Amino acid sequence: MGGQQEEEHSAVRLFREYLRIRTVHPQPDYDCAIEFLEKLGVELALSCKKVEVSPSRVILILTWEGTDPKLKSILLNSHTDVVPVFEEHWKHDPFAALKDEQGNIYGRGSQDMKCVTIQYIEAIRRLKSEGKRFPRTIHLLIVPDEEIGGQNGMVKFIEREEFGALNVGFGLDEGLANPGDAFTVFYGERNVWWVTVRCPGSPGHGSRFIENNAAEKVRRVINSFLDFREKEKKRLNLSECLTLGDVTTVNLTFLQGGVAFNVVPEELTASFDIRIPPTVDLKAFEEQIKTWCQEAGDGVVYEFHQKNMDQALTSIDKSDPWWSAFSSTCQQMDMTLQCEIFPAATDSRFIRAIGYPAIGFSPMNRTPILLHDHNEYLNERIFLTGINIYTSLIPALASVSPLEGEA
């Protein structure tokens, strides 16, 4: 078990305790998680505020006020919900937070992203114990429902006056592990498009060659979408310069329709998860979808279940004061940074969309990428190193000199 309980670092104990709270969809125990985190905030003499943005969906804000609270604040964002598990594929109970002899801590949310929440808190604990204060106010924002799109979490919160009152200047949010020595930093995200294509057709008996049937149309639709997918996959594989965030991914995620084996259905639908990088002309891409549908046959239409259109990027230019503070601090710690477009989606996209710079960053190098995967784990040494990193990053960001327009 990697050492006796009394020998374990107190931050690791808290991390494992947090992992044991079952904030797993479809019924996350948010109340228990908020109670746990609020208690930690009170211990650190942080001001605690809870905002119910949707029924049973509460945002927790833990605030460490700066010496000059008129300055724009630093937002440390994290989400408490985790994705479902298939326990039969796990070597350990995904909610037991077991630590093996190598110090690997297994648990759903160990990488995504309960580690970061505790790292924020423990970095602030350390800084406060040293008597440190910084000009800019620091807000820890803990939100629900990120894993299911954020519509009843961050999306609702940024529309409220409580968000405006945070006076945000710069945000940090989650990133991804990096199997190598470098640390991955994300300055933008691909847009998420969830599309359903409806293919109507002539119904009839399953023993006949029914003309103009739905299956023929849905086959053409699937071929068009997946042929494009193959082209993008080849483009990624053939280029040493491209990462997953630089290409468009398309995946067929639902096929629906039919009532019986011997009945040709009057409609079939195909649904796709599409992730589009900021470099793509979104209007032109939708025109391509429209063309694929028209080519599939009469009456074929598409509808969006999610359609993000923001292509904002956070500056990683050396002249940018936020990036300069972040990157120079990492350089001082001999960290190699690998800057990319995030291939999936986080709450950062909503922050950037309303004009605030945000960086996605989880300090996990030498770690396989296991978010949403079976046997998700994080090694305790990597976890503790992440606290050290935030202990340097938070002061650097909270000490950025007043910018133009600030007091």
Would you call 337 exposed, middle or buried from its count of C-beta atoms within 10 A (0-12, 13-18, 19+)? middle
81 catalytic? Reply is: yes
CA distance 295 to 300: 9
Which member of 38, 81, 174, 347 is catalytic? 81
HEC string for 314-355: CCCCCCCHHHHHHHHHHHHCCCCEEEEEECCCCCHHHHHHCC
CB atoms within 10 A of CB 314: 22
Q: CA-to-CA distance for 250 and 237, rounded, in angstroms? A: 15
Sequence letter at residue 324: S
Residue 159 is encoded by which pair of tokens? 């529309």
- Quick one: which of 320, 322, 389, 313 has its CA closest to 136? 322
Integer Cα distance of 177 and 184 in angstroms: 7
Active-site annotation holder among 38, 112, 145, 146: 146
User: What number of residues does the chain have?
Assistant: 407
Which DSSP string corresponds to 45-108?
A: T-EEEEEEEETTEEEEEEEE--SSTTSPEEEEEEE--B----GGG-SS-TTS--B-TT-EEE-T
HSE at residue 355, side-chain half, CA atoms within 13 A, is 3
Catalytic-residue membership of 122 = no
- Which residues are catalytically annotated? 81, 146
